[in-house]
Structure 1
Amino acid sequence: MVVAARCAAEVAAAVRHAAAGNLPVGVQATGHGLPGAAEGGVLVTTRRMDGITVDAGARTVRVQAGVRWGQVVAAAEPYGLAPLNGSAPSVGAVSYTLGGGLGILAREFGYAADHVRWLEVVTADGEVRQVTRESDPDLYWALLGAGQNFGIVTELEIGLVPVRTLYGGSVAFDGRAVDPAAVLRAYEAWTRTVPEGLTSSFAAVPYPDLPALPPQLRGRYVISVRVAYTGADGDALVAPLREIGPVLADSLRVMPYAESHTIHSDPDFPHAYYGDSAVLRELDVERAGELLRLTGPEASRMCVVQVNHLGGALGRPAPNAVPFREGRFLVRLLAVGEREQARAVLDPAFALLADDTLGRALNFAFGAGDRGAGLYDPETQKRLAGLKEQYDPANLFRRTYGVSAC
């Protein structure tokens, strides 16, 4: 059964129906990657719940469960405010936030989950609850980091930041003209010199030679560093990047925040891929260089590599279940093809990083790895399991990257 919900009451009715028949419940706002089977279950689609309310004085926005980040950016922009959105405007704001929310200004402001004021959620008993840190501290903590295991969040209120413009864009190199591993070594060294408020990532993408792609990308292996920064000295800070080697493209500039999606230029529609992630204590550049060789143009499947610089505000404690805040880098790998074909490339690549891996990131666990393994540290996992037994003892919300009851 697919329930096209328009309000929290309809979500609650769907959950009560599922509970009566002990049917698994899933929820989808937009969809990213490949679908999973849910025979006999109930899928609640929330895309019709698209209300947005900006309170400019309080610097907050209320978003319903079907709202996408592009809509929030547009709603906040007239007030000189910005949300803590990610790189892709087509991603659902609520689901992104429940998984932590690693945004384009993350090192300056932290995870999106750190800025949530309250949530409206339908729990496994079919009740609609408004949850705050003060009213329900345990449920509030669990929803922000493992939310879809504890109910269907139908609305939340989150803080906005006073950002009108930023310095951002990317510097790209031809991966066949420069050594990708050398670029990565230079990038890692550069991250040790930048201020806390500068957020960046490294990416390696071997584009196929297909007519559907722009001519400048066809058949190229593009290595790029993407930057987002609200300070005034951006050009000086990125100068070392431009000296790494011959530059293929340079889009770094001061831009309105409404154009921030151009920094990464993510596709505006879902693609079929598998992938996974690893939060690292440190980035061993020699092993990471070997990872680039395994996933580069000679790999059996097209792979996309992204390395996010963490730290800064991401390392500060917060009253939520987002784990591994001590991590210094996040490595994300995607592979095109069937699951086992993808794993044949991804598993050896992640094995290279195993000694420095703290765990996986929930928002970037794209079906390639085990559903629940490594998503939380043992203490967080134990607390989540206890709360799962309290709020969803029948494991109704089991169509997720699960948290098992004690």
Structure 2
Amino acid sequence: MSRPTRGQVLRSLAALPLLTSLRSTPVTTTSTLSASADRHAETLRGVRGPVFRPGDAGFAEEVAGFNAAFQPRPSLVVGATTADDVAAAVRYARATGAKARVQATGHGLSSDLAGTVLVTTKRLTGLRIDPRHRTATVGAGVRWKAVVDAAAEHGLAPLCGSSSQVGAVGYTLGGGHGSLGRRYGYAADHVRSLDVVTADGHRRHVDVLHHHDLFWALRGGRDGLAVVTSMTVDLVPVTRLHGGGIFHPGTSAKEVLHAWRTWAPTLPEHVSTSVALLRLPPDPALPEPLRGQFVVHVRFTSTGTAAEADRLLQPVRAAAPVLIDTIGEMPFTAIDSVHADPTRPMPVAQSGTGLRELCAGTLDAVLARADAASGSTLAMVELRLLGGALARQPRVPNAVTGRGAQFSLLGLGVLAGPGAERVPQQLHALTTTVQPWATAGPLNLAGGGDHSALWSAADRARLATVRHRHDPRGTLAP
């Protein structure tokens, strides 16, 4: 049987995420305030978007997030269409003593949101590209895909992550590192300004000159500070990459990971790479060499020349037999094909950490918890190379975590099907086994739970001060 071409593989991976997925339900966007509204309902009378209470038609569709492991149960939902809608929702939460929570795509959903006032911002889809100043002004509901496509028309690109289906604002507030990160830094390093609603229900413009404490905290601190309704970020002059992935058989995991460990730190800053152990579903839409298999996936992107990339890749291509190699020239608009992340909602749990180093002992510890003989049911265990510009503070410092980490480790499990009940324990075991080499890593890859240990004592105290100053009642508290 002949090996599939690169084009055939890319089309297959684009059509089917590498992990088991569930189909989403269309969102209903028409509803009205329930007749059983409480005495504070007057606060919401000017809201232009739909307002939902439990039991209303469209409530379940409105609150559904990308992570289907949770079924949100807020007491009230405001489908914001303007920043004023957001402000009204926050004032309502404050008046009723409820917590206000925000959701655009629900990729970061980590609880059932019980009893909260949920502001859904997916309708805030304003997007403006300024090619002269190389910036994009992005509404809170905009996904990176829209920014990638709009910026490409001007020969520019945003600092998005491995999936352009993720919401741009939430990704950026958590730091945000993707294929261009080692060259340009975190997405949060390139925020020019933010338009927000603070816990008192007032709209504010935040930048280096206005509310500078909040500007520092929001860029990397993410949660419990203010509701961002739009942001202005830098774009970079990138139009193409030499990138893709190399799939090796899972039986060669040890050889590939140890080759990757010594190879990755030698790469120049315009190159990014990660490696993942993947347990793929037996779906007929997947290429035959990958279908239902345990494989090693080396991901690679470079803004350098094709000739340089091919030379740099020689050690990992030679580390073990190659099942499929999709690496080649690509427009930046095809960035999703490198990782082939899921595009439809699915029930997942994840946990991650930063690593000070990746020595032979670290890798052996990871393999003991994740290779074919480990008994693991985790769908993905990934290592990413950090460093470069990700290790340096930007000109205007911010609260981004993980600058001291040289690598990140992430485990992800699907909470459905055989072995789902073992996923939480296996995630805990994975991050625990690398504790001798662990350090604070990127916030967006940390998973659920208490993240306070990611910051230094000084930054943790500074974040607490900013939160108390702008939200003394804890209306937005994480």
Q: Fold match, TM over 0.5?
A: yes
Are 2:350 and 1:350 aligned? no
Change (3 A) 1:372 1:315: closer
In 2, Cα distance between equivalents of 1:299 and 1:394: 47
Q: Structure 1: any 5+ residue segments left out of the alignment?
A: none
The within-5 A match list for 1:153-168 is: 153-168=228-243
Q: Residue 91 of structure 2 aligns with which residue?
A: 16
Are 2:458 and 1:379 aligned? yes
Task: Determine if contact 2:93/2:117 at 8 Å carries over to the other structure.
Answer: yes
Are 2:186 and 1:186 aligned? no
Are 2:378 and 1:299 aligned? no
AA paired with 2:337? T
Greater shift in the superposed pair: 340-349 or 92-101 = 340-349
Q: Residue 250 of structure 1 aligns with which residue?
A: 325
In 2, Cα distance between equivalents of 1:284 and 1:340: 31
For each residue in 1:188-234, what CA deviation from the matched residue of structure 2 results, as whole angstroms up to 9, or x when unmatched? 11113211221111111012335565543222111011111111221
Are 2:347 and 1:268 aligned? no
Q: Residue 333 of structure 1 aligns with which residue?
A: 411
AA paired with 1:336? V
For each residue in 1:26-70, what CA deviation from the matched residue of structure 2 results, as whole angstroms up to 9, or x when unmatched? 111101276522222111111111111000011000000000001
Are 2:189 and 1:114 aligned? yes
Q: 1:278 aligned to 350, 353, 366, which one? A: 353
Q: Residue 472 of structure 2 aligns with which residue?
A: 393
Q: Residue 259 of structure 1 aligns with which residue?
A: 334
Change (3 A) 1:385 1:34: closer
In 2, Cα distance between equivalents of 1:355 and 1:35: 27
Task: Determine if contact 1:33/1:272 at 8 Å carries over to the other structure.
Answer: no
Q: 2:386 aligned to 310, 316, 321, which one? A: 310
Task: Determine if contact 2:402/2:454 at 8 Å carries over to the other structure.
Answer: no
In 2, Cα distance between equivalents of 1:224 and 1:215: 15
AA paired with 2:149? A
In 2, Cα distance between equivalents of 1:45 and 1:55: 27
In 2, Cα distance between equivalents of 1:300 and 1:107: 31
Task: Work out which of the two has the higher radius of gyration on C-alpha atoms and give 1 or 2.
Answer: 2
In the alignment of these two chains, the number of paired residues is 395
AA paired with 2:254? A
C-alpha displacement at 1:285, in angstroms?
Answer: 2.9
Q: Secondary structure at the match of 1:76?
A: helix
What's the TM-score, normalizing by structure 2?
Answer: 0.79
Q: Residue 43 of structure 1 aligns with which residue?
A: 118
In 2, Cα distance between equivalents of 1:203 and 1:9: 43
C-alpha displacement at 1:182, in angstroms?
Answer: 2.0
AA paired with 1:23? A
In 2, Cα distance between equivalents of 1:384 and 1:15: 21
CA RMSD of aligned residues (A): 1.7
Q: Residue 93 of structure 1 aligns with which residue?
A: 168
C-alpha displacement at 1:350, in angstroms?
Answer: 1.1
C-alpha displacement at 1:294, in angstroms?
Answer: 1.5
Greater shift in the superposed pair: 44-53 or 130-139 = 130-139
Q: 1:102 aligned to 160, 177, 196, which one? A: 177
Task: Determine if contact 1:62/1:157 at 8 Å carries over to the other structure.
Answer: yes
C-alpha displacement at 1:164, in angstroms?
Answer: 1.1
In 2, Cα distance between equivalents of 1:254 and 1:286: 35
In 2, Cα distance between equivalents of 1:172 and 1:182: 13
Q: Secondary structure at the match of 2:153?
A: helix
Q: Residue 279 of structure 2 aligns with which residue?
A: 206
Q: 2:291 aligned to 201, 213, 218, which one? A: 218
In 2, Cα distance between equivalents of 1:98 and 1:83: 14
AA paired with 2:301? A
Moved segments of 4+, more than 4 Å: 210-214
For each residue in 1:312-339, what CA deviation from the matched residue of structure 2 results, as whole angstroms up to 9, or x when unmatched? 0011113110023121001111122289
Q: Residue 197 of structure 1 aligns with which residue?
A: 270
Q: Residue 158 of structure 2 aligns with which residue?
A: 83
In 2, Cα distance between equivalents of 1:9 and 1:195: 46
Q: Structure 2: any 5+ residue segments left out of the alignment?
A: 1-75
In 2, Cα distance between equivalents of 1:364 and 1:348: 16
In 2, Cα distance between equivalents of 1:154 and 1:241: 43
In 2, Cα distance between equivalents of 1:337 and 1:295: 17
Task: Determine if contact 1:324/1:377 at 8 Å carries over to the other structure.
Answer: no
Greater shift in the superposed pair: 341-350 or 292-301 = 292-301
AA paired with 2:460? Q
Q: Residue 141 of structure 1 aligns with which residue?
A: 216
Task: Determine if contact 1:316/1:325 at 8 Å carries over to the other structure.
Answer: yes
For each residue in 1:347-406, what CA deviation from the matched residue of structure 2 results, as whole angstroms up to 9, or x when unmatched? 121112112211243212333xx33342322221111011111111111113xxx3xxxx
For each residue in 1:73-114, what CA deviation from the matched residue of structure 2 results, as whole angstroms up to 9, or x when unmatched? 010111100000001011000000000011111100100000
In 2, Cα distance between equivalents of 1:344 and 1:186: 29
Q: 2:401 aligned to 323, 326, 338, which one? A: 323
| Sequence identity (%) | 41
Task: Determine if contact 1:359/1:377 at 8 Å carries over to the other structure.
Answer: no
Q: Secondary structure at the match of 1:79?
A: coil
What's the TM-score, normalizing by structure 1?
Answer: 0.93
AA paired with 2:467? K
